[in-house]
Structure 1
């Protein structure tokens, strides 16, 4: 039996229970989790904002050690340290063939199947194909990425989602260049990673924006040169900081229509606004036809860092080992499975950075 965090239905309390987890089948890998990050997507799943097949084991941002492999597995073996990949590319669909594995049309297939069960026989689905809020999980071979030596196993969990997404938004989607100005809306785990990544890219000014004044110290720790409280005047304040021009790049890491609109307005003429946050389908954003033409800005979304995790994890590990990327600074709370609901409350209230579930603390 394996201890896990189970969501039976949207809006229901999270249950910490024992589940029955079968061994790996052909092409599958069993992992003992070392740690799992608490992501906003997990909160969205509990609230029903993201579609999911229920009941499920939450969690998708994790790292651990391979304990068993099924037949035909060739890329990892027992004892290997790995990062979990919640969106493994099939390498065969049109998006993969076009060189965009982050948009793989089959990446979510694993989340719809049963992989474990409750003691009463009720089948369970792995949240986002991973089920990382558990002491152990079983995933397809494509969902495990070898972790380079030297990177701490617990904090490496963040490489699987927050860090890969935030870093990729800066370096792969927006392609920030040295000397440019960046503004970042929302300072959760992804937003803080965007701050660090903008610094790595050599941005001259990095403006952090959040609704909570408590985030200023955290923002500056991660590379922000200025901090603004989010309100209707934020775009004007950004233009004031940038000599009336606006930021070269804006990153929206909140997932709200008003924040997207503000990020767009804070961007200079010809600049780029990148939406990283996941918003609701009823939350609309509007622009006039004239401003779209006049400002010639680019508005784009970034899914999973717009990069291939197979290539990105070694790249990120290189930055960690060189001291350019600080994973531990992103973690403000190290918790157990039973503390996940409180972590969701902090996240909803905009407090702290990443909460990390650490197993065998």
Structure 2
């Protein structure tokens, strides 16, 4: 028999921990405490799995509401998306048959209608100026009217961009100057627009065609401010709880700030190639790929900042430990946001080059 043997039993779990007399005393005490914690945890787990309670829901079953997402920018067309929320009693989606109507008011004066330009997408001919108040009213049969307002953002200084290559990445240094007259809110957007000309297979037949795709992958781990939005789960997985990359001027008010980012280096090329079809025919063609990198910094208003930040937290929670998140909304009797922004942009082109 091992001296100082301790045996613990809980249901079908048998725990045996033995200590030699040569064990240091502090380790013996530590392991004894750990054993007690294990027993307590097993007991709580057993009770939790075998205990249930029933609650009599006294609240009101939520009804579907209009969802309005719109933003206004100085000297630009007004853009909006209109849909409806879905509940377990109404899981239908909104389409063109709902005949949603959107009215635009500028400085509390009627300015025009929202016109349908795509699936649930609308635009208006209204071109507001900085400081204008924009109000959007949306009506739809069977749903309450939704109303949202915003004040169009002022401009901010041009951004500057420095780049250099490192391994297979393109390092970006984005210079942002904050005016500092008030608390400002910003959003960083880095967009890689890829143009490809080559063969496309359709029903077993090859066809020479062109296509355009977009990607928004960016590494912000080297940035002092935005890298703090990365958290690590208990399983070691990194999650970006700020996927829309919004931030404030709290740490650089009235100063210049350099944002550090990196993207995969765009691979632009042009080459002659060929392919054999299923019919045995040989198709010779020139395959080309070019890229356009758009680096944007948007000055946004607080409602749009709050909406994007809370939406990002909601979308990127660990599915195992999700907590209720209230996504911000400034839409009265509806959901979503009516916000404003002002965009500064730098464009870098990577034209196709022959590989010969």
TM range (shorter): under 0.3
**If the length of structure 2 is used for normalisation, what is the TM-score?**
0.24
The structure with the greater share of residues assigned to helix is 1
**If the length of structure 1 is used for normalisation, what is the TM-score?**
0.24
Structure number, greater radius of gyration? 2
The structure with the greater share of residues assigned to strand is 2
